[in-house]
Amino acid sequence: SFTVKRKLGSGGFSTVWLCEQANMNRSVAIKIGIYNEDLRSAIMDEMALLNCIRNADASDPHRDKVVQLLEHFTHSSGTTRDHMCFVFEPLESDLFDLMRRSNHTGIGVEKVKTVIRSVLEGLNFLHIKCQIIHMDIKPENILVTMDSDKVKQVKIADLGNGCYTYHHFMDQIQTREYKSPEVMILGDYNSNADIWSTACMAFECAIGGYLFQPIEGTDEKGKPYTLEADHLAKITIRLGPIPCDVYKTGKHWDKYFNE
């Protein structure tokens, strides 16, 4: 049995609670999602990914950089809806909290190096040993434990948007500011999409602001442009032209590029 202590956070389809598990004498984080027919497939996909991680190479030195599923169960709330509950090891806070405490002016170079190194090690485990792409790397999904002013532990969390390297579940993924070009144009994405997001996050940790923050608007001729068009333009201005062999894999490449 579990005793709820406090709410840790929430998303579009789930809420996370800090709980005590009396029979195991331990604290856990329980992610409670709505379990209905519309979400059933996505929840079952996430469960499969989490079980894949749990069963992956136990000797890998970087598996502890990814949050581990301890158990799962279905809970009925007394309504027509059941809730799938995932039980995880708890961590104190996420990277966004750490950035907020620094007033979004940067968390310091040493903390950035520690966090990003751990994230990349965790992604290496996911990509190579689990054949999983996270697809939503951002500060809110990086859990951080601090020891005074030093980063003690870092773990990648929330596989809700994840997929396999060999089987993608959907095209519209990744949070806007961390979205890779190939995802924007509905191209052939792979695990490099996570590395792109990590690089955007590293900049944000160091500087305190987004590397790319696209907006909708109109050009000098009054013609409207989309978030994707502005995002791709900002990437091109900062990093140079996107290679042809990248953008031509996209279903929508001709909306943003000419020959």
Flag whether 31 is marked binding: yes
CA 46 to each of CA 42, 72, 240: distance values in angstroms, whole numbers, following the listed order: 6, 12, 36
Spatial distance between the Cα atoms of 118 and 90, rounded to a whole number of angstroms: 17
**Backbone φ and ψ of 220, nearest 5°:** -65, -15
The residue whose two tokens read 């969390």 is 157
Q: Which of 45, 94, 136, 194 is an active site residue?
A: 136
Does the annotation count 82 as an active-site position? no
* HSE, side-chain direction, 13 A CA sphere, residue 88: 27
Spatial distance between the Cα atoms of 125 and 132, rounded to a whole number of angstroms: 9
CA 147 to each of CA 111, 121, 144, 153, 198: distance values in angstroms, whole numbers, following the listed order: 12, 21, 10, 9, 23
Spatial distance between the Cα atoms of 233 and 249, rounded to a whole number of angstroms: 18
Spatial distance between the Cα atoms of 156 and 65, rounded to a whole number of angstroms: 6
**Backbone φ and ψ of 60, nearest 5°:** -65, 125
Neighbouring C-beta atoms of residue 172, cutoff 10 Å:
9
Residues forming the active site: 136
Binding-site annotation, residues for ATP = 31
Binding-site annotation, residues = 31
